[in-house]
Amino acid sequence: MITEILICSRLTRRFGKRLAVDGVSLTLAPGRITALLGPSGCGKSTLLRLIAGLEPLDDGEILYGETLIASPAEALPPERRRIGLVFQDHALFPHLSVRDNVAFGLAGRPRAERHEITARWLTRVGLGDRGRDWPHQLSGGQQQRVALARALAPAPRAVLLDEPFSSLDAHLRGEVRQDIAGALRDAGTAALVVTHDARDAMLMADDLILMDRGQVLQAGSPEACYARPASLDAARLLGDIEVIAGERRDGRVETPLGRFEARGSNGACRLMFRPEALRLDPQGVEAQVTAVAYGGAASEVRLKVGEAGATLIAAPGRLTVGETVRVRLDPAAVRLLD
């Protein structure tokens, strides 16, 4: 059983004057899935390549337990790191069968062992009867499963997945996401999933890392990052966020949506909250419905509260434009921005 933790400390990569990865630290623990979430161009894929050994480090170090894997002075080549990598485009070998693709990393092992491991992993990803097929005969979701089986077959220390769902149709995305998460947990290895999709990240991850402009904005459980964002930038990576202005005096802040506790010095400040924290309440403050957008299971209702605007999530058909309602903001869901 794999027990050592992969430790990345202060990883830095420069391209000319641009810092693509700026002092990023993270740990990958066996049996846990870590999601790395950030917008395109924020340095996610470069960080993945640093860990895999496909890019050199300009600063920092990578340790597996107490064993040095990489530093600016010395680094193990990719093939000696025992780190599996699943590329965004799957990168299957077109001239090899599905079975031979999965067995590719098992060279040097006895034939019977290679066949047993390959068959086991193809069965685990739901492709036990497709071993003789060629990659081009598989769907995108099936190719992704083969790429994962190939990465997991040699029992790696960690598996890195680069945007594993970006090429999948919406109706396949959830199914493949569940299958991949299940296979990763069964393998018991550490996993790092890079994505720009907040839903994928939160549904898969045990641990979440939010990244932008080469730096980590926040790390923690998906629940903590969503409910208690460290900054406005971190909050926006996980979904819609509302910001309203207020005036802080003597430990409280006055806003169009009510009065809330707020530590700190007196003066202007801002509050942020998720739209679902705003609810209809006959005892709440008065608001005017200015727009309603149907969203299937729920509608987004735009309100005007005094001089401020806010979005309310409501049942479809419940509210209409021009209607006056009363709403209350959950104090526990409010975060203060100085």
| Residue-averaged pLDDT of the chain | 92
Amino acid 168: pLDDT:
77
For residue 1, pLDDT over 70 is answered with no
Tell me the average pLDDT across 238-254: 90
How far is C-alpha 32 from the geometric centre of its chain's CA atoms?
13
For residue 107, pLDDT over 90 is answered with no
Tell me the average pLDDT across 265-285: 92
Q: How far apart are CA 141 and CA 167, in angstroms?
A: 9
Confirm if 156 and 84 have CB atoms less than 8 A apart.
Answer: yes
Where residue 152 falls among pLDDT bands split at 50, 70, 90?
very high
- 26: CB partners within 8 A, 6+ apart: 8, 34, 36, 192, 209, 216, 219
Amino acid 2: pLDDT:
62
The DSSP secondary-structure symbol of 197 reads -
Question: Are 6-237 and 242-337 equal in CATH topology?
Answer: no
The CATH T-level fold of domain 6-237 is Rossmann fold (3.40.50)
For residue 122, pLDDT over 90 is answered with yes
For residue 239, pLDDT over 80 is answered with yes
Tell me the average pLDDT across 197-203: 93
Classify domain 242-337 by CATH number.
2.40.50.140
Q: How far apart are CA 201 and CA 191, in angstroms?
A: 12
The per-residue pLDDT for range 47-98, each reduced to its tens digit, is: 999 999 999 999 999 999 999 999 999 999 998 999 999 987 778 999 999 9
Is the pTM for the entire model greater than 0.85? yes
Tell me the average pLDDT across 151-166: 91
The dihedral through the CA atoms of 176, 5, 119, 140 has a sign that is positive
Token pair for 224? 């903590």
Domains of the chain by residue range? 6-237, 242-337
